[in-house]
Chains A and B, each alone.
Chain A
Amino acid sequence: MIGARTLEGLARTAHDSDSDEALVLRARDGEYSAFETLFHRHRALVYRFAYQMVQRRDDAEDIAQEAFVRAYQNLGRYRDEAKFTTWLLRIVTNLCTDRTRMHQRRTGLETREAAGGLTWMTVGETDDPVQNLEQDQRRAALKAALNALPAHHRTAVVLRDIEEREYDEIAAIFGCSIGGAKLRVLRGRRALRDRIAPLLGEAQP
């Protein structure tokens, strides 16, 4: 009985010591390897989110790295009320918004050019070439429409519909209420639809 309880306690301790919050505490105390563990654990999430926001690989890498640098510099300001990933995504959101504002025009042009240049070498998922073409068209339209969205709408759509984050987390990232987060996502989807419809040749309502 005692042995089982001890094992349970040890398992809980091990689990706690592996949690993000525990790693943050250790990193705060100067243990850099703990921060590296956090980096390995969340780099894919951060990079993917940054890529969805800026649609450029080098920019997304820069943003992801800068986000981890800022997180390390501000570990002392992290509070346990929010999840570490929420806090991290908030940093990435701010960085992406800044980057988007600065390079909106350049990024849009280059993405359009790149999308046009790569259309002919896209490999389809099905054997039907017509279906593949339609699918590619739709993806290109979605990418272009997503790029054309204002930063706050894009962030809301990416967080909810691509990263599948919960509304309370989105609210924490935006610093608003859950109702406000729902409203932002709804508006973002509507704005995305308004931009996609003309690209797919559908009539505006």
Chain B
Amino acid sequence: MKRRDENHLIKLAFGEAEWSPADEPLDRESALKLDLYRQMRQDLLDARDAVPPDQLSPERLRESILRSGLKKERRTLWTWALAPSLALLVALIALNREHPEANVVASSFEAADEAFQSVAAPAAETAPAPAANSLAGPTAPKAAPKPKSSPTKRVRPSPKALLASRADHPLAPAAAMAGVMETSRSAMDSAALAAPETASPPTVVLIENTADQATGMNIATEVRPAANVVIGS
């Protein structure tokens, strides 16, 4: 039997189509099928009433509503935020694989690292001007490794360095001396920052003036060693 004919039989049996005189008389197989479908329809209608009574109650429902809360928390926003982030990550990885020479991910990490170093060592940013360095000569200790700076960044020389570079200016020697002192001080600071483990122990010891209870004399008690202590008033 064709599927189309069977569909028509189903519609006939379930009362969704009318028997028209133009229809061909049914053969035995089709008649059996139609009979089966009609019986099935009746059984389905009978099944509607064959339902045991329920034990639902409004009290039970109220308890359930109170137990489960008024509104469940929705996480749609998180889902929407997660999807673009994942897409961006996948795109970055794909781009990095396609163009390894571009190294997008690595360069972004390097940029972040540079930014971090510039924040962590501000002394390096305010390094003395090239003229002062040249005046310090070989005696100037090598400071901490120079951080990489972007090629577009320009460092303006300090006024002292500008003065020292002009030999004919009357204040040039003083400026040169100040540059030397500043260079050596910054070099010491840089050295202390660069290798704190290897730095020499501090030579200044803080003391506290206390009175001896037995004799009443002043006694100097060592409190702790310290560095960078300003001595004087």
Contacts and interface: CB of A to CB of B under 8 A. Distances in A.
Nearest to A160: B14
Contacts of B58: 36, 39-40
Contact of B10 (A65, A73, A189, A196): A189
6 contacts: A39-B61, A43-B54, A47-B56, A69-B61, A139-B46, A162-B44
A87 interface: no
A73 B70 contact: yes
Interface stretch (A17-25, A56-64, A91-99): A56-64
B197 interface: no
B1 interface: yes
Interface string A115-129: 000000000000000
Contacts of B37: 189, 193
Interface of B: 1, 6-7, 10-11, 14, 29, 32-33, 36-37, 39-41, 43-48, 50-52, 54-56, 58, 60-62, 64-65, 68-72
A73 B71 contact: yes
B91 to A, nearest CB: 34
A143 B48 CA distance: 12
Is the interface on chain A under 10, 10 to 19, 20 to 34, or 35 or more residues? 35 or more
Interface in A47-76: 47-48, 51-52, 57, 60-61, 64-66, 68-69, 72-73
A73 B43 CA distance: 37
A32 B65 CA distance: 11
Contacts of A43: 54, 56
Nearest to B71: A73
Nearest to B47: A162
B65 A69 contact: yes
B40 A186 contact: no
A192 interface: yes
Interface string A161-185: 1111000000000000000000000
A139 B43 contact: yes
B7 A64 contact: no
B27 to A, nearest CB: 12
B40 A193 contact: yes
Nearest to A167: B16
Nearest to A73: B71
Contacts of B39: 138
Given A186-B11, A189-B37, 12 more contacts: A36-B61, A43-B54, A65-B64, A73-B72, A142-B40, A193-B37, A193-B40, A196-B36, A197-B36, A205-B1, A205-B29, A205-B33
Nearest to A52: B47
Given A73-B72, A139-B43, A61 B55 contact: yes
A73 B95 CA distance: 46
Contacts of B61: 36, 39, 65, 68-69
A41 to B, nearest CB: 12
Contact of B45 (A69, A162, A189, A192): A162
A65 B68 CA distance: 12
A202 B29 CA distance: 12
A205 B56 CA distance: 44
A111 to B, nearest CB: 13
Nearest to B37: A193
Nearest to B54: A47
Contacts of B10: 186, 189-190
A197 B32 CA distance: 11
Contacts of A44: 54
A157 interface: yes
Contacts of A72: 65
Given A52-B47, A73-B70, A162-B47, A189 B54 contact: no
A48 B51 CA distance: 7
B48 A60 contact: no
Q: Which 9 A-B pairs have the closest CB atoms?
A: A161-B44, A47-B54, A142-B43, A162-B48, A51-B51, A48-B51, A57-B52, A69-B64, A36-B58
